[in-house]
Structure 1
Amino acid sequence: MTTQNLYLDINVLQTVPSSNLNRDDTGAPKTALYGGVTRARVSSQSWKRAVRSTFREDNVDVGTRTKEAAQLLVNELKQQDTTLDDDAAWAKTDAAFKAAGVKLNKDHETGALLLISRGQLEKLAQYLLANDDLDKKEVKKVLKGDQSLDLALFGRMVADNPELNVDAAAQVAHAISTHEVVPEYDYFTALDDLQGEDETGAAMLGSIEYNSSTLYRYANVNVNELVHNLNAEDAVHGVADFIKDFLLSMPTGKQNTFANKTLPSYVLITLRPDTPVNLVSAFEKPVDSRDGYVAASIDRLEAEYQTTQQFVDTPRLNVVLGKADSQIGEVATNLADLLSKVTGSLTEAIQDEDTNA
């Protein structure tokens, strides 16, 4: 059983052209004031949703976040026992949610979104079909086990019954630009296809606010918490899946309008034995440039990493992708090589802690 701290930091620099990845309530790109200037911002919630969507595309085990978890359980009960009618399935389901301490409204919906894994639904249905008298502890145990990767990483809060809460193993920061941004506006018109050649005027007109930026993105994983939520082997695979899909995913706001899907320019992965470290301080003074922000941002980030070393323990691993002459860690030749280096070191670290526990 692991006892020592073990954290994985993911630092990413990614440049994005004209775009509106994540809108506020007025439709404008979200921003943040940092270092005295306005920065482009993409919320952590937005990027976590993008990661969960990419998990699905990659056939990674993900749960379902819904108010209709009871309906999902009814469906699973009837799939496992084809002789069960609707009334009997709903009776078992209502009893299960009551035993779990989760309230259902008159429409059999939870009061808030509930993230539930496929494994939890299957195991809970099996338990209900095998037992007429429900043990509250067993029901809650089922609803805490068999966690999907997104549940284990991002956690779950159940207001009705905190016993069902799952502590998140990952933290995701709001991405912000390394430099100041100035909002721009696209004024557009649309013509009616059936409009005659001699007719003038637009059938529609409007405007869209957008910006372009080099974003600093950061996330970390409490590896021991992820092992607790899953198991050692699944945690290592889960970290690799999370790194890959965190790097390759992107929120889809106005994607069809701007076609702004890019890839990271630089990645730094650090495995730490003491504490996670967000290196955003590298950009508290905004990068100022007229010939691109990426190169200067990389230099700033690596310099900030060196500065932080006077405050923390020596990391177990540093891996860099995107700068062939980096002096702060191993240089990966591609994403597959980066993931291989990380999972190898992670496996060794977990085994060392298990040995020393």
Structure 2
Amino acid sequence: MTQRLYIDLHVLQTVPPANLNRDDQGNPKEAIYGGVRRSRVSSQAWKRATRQHFDTRAPEPDRATRTKRIAAELTTRIARNTSLDRENAARIAAALLAQLGLSQGKKAGDTAYLLFYGNAQLDAVADLVTTRAAELAALEDKELSEAVQELPVASTFTTGHPVGVALFGRMVADIPKLNVDAAVQVAHALSTHETQLEFDYYTAVDDKNEKDETGAGMIGTIGFNSATLYRYATLGLAQLTGNLGGDAEAALDAVDRFVESFVLSAPTGYQNSFAHRTRPSVIAVVVRTDQPVNLVSAFEEPVAAQAGIQASSARRLAEEHLTATQVWGDTPLYQAAAHTFSTREPSAKDTVETLAQAFGDPVTFDDLRTTLRARLTNALAESA
């Protein structure tokens, strides 16, 4: 059994005026924490950004898809693999998917909910009928349903999970056999300080206005705020390894890809209007053998703006980690941080020293990932 190891990721990232993740009014999401209003980015928004980031770096079969249109996707694969027209391919696809018992949506051919699956898994389902496609298409609907009844459709979706499904899990309330427990938990990102909602009033001028015409062709407003965000995620290595069929090497690859993608990704809400993409100022990794620990309590008292907020937030994070390890007697298996503060700046000296006390001497992001993998590999070897 894989040793119980939790990889905690603590990220501080300063974002300029932006609307990363809007609420039902179109404004940036917010939350009350520590008695004041904070900027918030939902965990779902950042998980999707993370998944899209590492999917773009993986071959198509290794990617995951979340959609209500699984029947149409399977139809496309069957038609592509055979000489069948789309109508007959759709009949076979419907017969195959009927084995899963998926609730049907309001739109014909759609499921009632988004289903998360691996592209390779759906390819494998399509391959089940490739050599028999013409024979199956010639059958009446009832006979077709009976003919595919024994094909291992359900088992195909419960094995060979892609990294996305292995990391973030799959929940199908009415079909428990399709459920996959998530290996990753992601917290809602919160600003370390109080924020105020602001509005950008904009106008658009019609380029073809006549000389005697005045006024704008369109006017509107967009809500925005700016914030230093604390982002947290934790990954259970044992759960991830189990989701990947016990393949420890694949799990280590997945950890590395997740760390990279969680750190470097960002939700894309209104990005053309705000160009909000930044890099984090602090990335701290802590490997624990007891339980995940979110350090958001460092910011329960909001950071006050003095000469900026970023450095004060970094010190708060480091101090909270130091306090937590001292009070609870924690001895992390591994801890390290990459950050952008430098002793060349006199004002940053205290920040650099506090971060070093908490996480050790700073490393580059590449070195952090390399050393993390080495420590996890050694831990797995020792527990074998």
- TM-score (structure 2 length as normaliser): 0.86
Q: Sequence identity, in percent?
A: 45
**Does the 8 Å CA contact 1:226/1:235 hold for their aligned counterparts?**
yes
Equivalent residue, structure 2, for 1:43: 42
What's 2:140 paired with?
Answer: none
- Local SS of the residue matching 2:328: coil
Superposition TM-score, scaled by structure 1 size: 0.92
Query: Are the structure 2 counterparts of residues 134 and 350 from structure 1 closer, same or farther at C-alpha, using a change threshold of 3 Å?
Result: farther
Q: Secondary structure at the match of 2:17?
A: strand
Counterpart residue number, 1:14? 13
The answer as to 2:167 corresponding to 1:153 is yes
Q: What one-letter code is carried by the residue in structure 2 that aligns with 1:263?
A: R
Alpha-carbon distance in structure 2 between the residues aligned to 1:204 and 1:103: 43
Q: Secondary structure at the match of 2:32?
A: strand
SS in 2 for 1:252: coil
Structure 2 stretches of 5 or more lacking a match? Answer: 133-146, 342-351
Instruction: Quote the residue 2:219 is aligned against.
Output: 205
- Matched letter for residue 318 of structure 1: Q
Which residue does 1:316 correspond to in 2? 333
1:249-328 to 2 correspondence within 5 Å?
Answer: 249-309=265-325, 310-311=327-328, 313-322=330-339, 325=353, 326-328=356-358
Give 1:110-259 correspondences, 5 Å limit: 110-129=111-130, 132-135=147-150, 138-230=152-244, 231-259=247-275
8 Å Cα contact 1:186/1:209 also seen in 2: yes
Residues 256-302 of structure 1 deviation map (CA, whole Å, 9 limit, x = unaligned): 11111100000110111010000000000000122111111111001
Distance (Å, rounded) in 2 between the aligned partners of 1:93 and 1:200:
58
19-28 or 309-318: which moved more? 309-318
> Which is worse superposed, 190-199 or 293-302?
190-199
2:127 partner amino acid: Q
Gaps of 5+ in 1: none
Tell me, in whole angstroms, the C-alpha distance in 1 between the residues paired with 2:200 and 2:271. Answer: 15
Structure 1 pair 90/208, CA: closer, same or farther in 2 (3 Å)?
Answer: closer
Q: Which residue pairs with 1:329 in the alignment?
A: 359
* CA distance, structure 1, for counterparts of residue 381 and residue 108 of structure 2: 48
Return the alpha-carbon distance in structure 2 between the equivalents of residues 332 and 140 of structure 1: 48
Partner secondary structure for residue 25 of structure 2: coil
Structure 1 pair 91–186 and aligned structure 2 pair: CA distance change class (3 A) = closer
- Out of 276-285 and 338-347, give the one that drifted further: 338-347
* Counterpart in the other structure of 1:101: 101
How many residues align? The count is 351
CA-to-aligned-CA distance 1:109-133 (integer Å, 9 cap, x gap): 2111111111211222233447845
Instruction: Give the Cα separation in 2 of the matches to 1:42 and 1:122.
Output: 34
> Alpha-carbon deviation of 1:95?
2.8
SS, match of residue 275 in structure 1: coil
Alpha-carbon distance in structure 2 between the residues aligned to 1:183 and 1:71: 42
Question: How many angstroms apart in 2 are the aligned matches of 1:207 and 1:97?
Answer: 45
1:177-235, Cα deviation, whole Å (9 max, x unpaired): 00001122222222211224443322222222211110000001011111011121111
Q: Verify the 8 A CA contact 2:95 2:148 in the aligned structure 1.
A: no
| Alignment check: 8 A CA contact 1:8 1:221 kept | yes
CA distance in 2, matches of 1:332, 1:291: 23
Mean Cα deviation higher: 302-311 or 268-277:
302-311
1:228 aligns to what SS in structure 2?
A: helix
**How far apart, CA to CA, are the structure 1 residues paired with 2:206 and 2:92?**
56
Secondary structure (helix, strand or coil) at the match of 1:156 reads: coil
Does the 8 A contact of 1:62 with 1:151 survive in 2? no
> Whole-Å Cα distance in 2 between the matches of residues 130 and 352 of structure 1?
47
AA in 1 matched with 2:108? D
Q: Is 2:282–2:338's contact at 8 Å kept on the other side of the alignment?
A: yes
Contact 1:97 1:103 in 2 (8 A): no
Q: RMSD between aligned alpha carbons?
A: 2.0
Deviates more, 1:329-338 or 1:109-118: 329-338
Worse overlay, 322-331 or 285-294: 322-331
Instruction: Give the whole-Å Cα distance in 2 for the aligned partners of 1:157 and 1:115.
Output: 8
1:34-71 deviation line (CA, Å, top 9, x unaligned): 00000000111111111122123223632111111122
Q: Distance in 2 between matches of 1:196 and 1:74?
A: 53
CA distance in 1 between partners of 2:249 and 2:78 (Å): 30
The 1:201–1:157 alpha-carbon spacing in structure 2 relative to 1, beyond 3 Å, is same
SS in 2 for 1:17: strand
Query: Partner of 2:349 in structure 1?
Result: none
Q: Tell me which residue corresponds to 2:89.
A: 89
Query: Helix, strand or coil for the counterpart of 2:125?
Result: helix
Give yes or no for contact 1:44–1:174 (8 Å, CA) kept in 2: yes
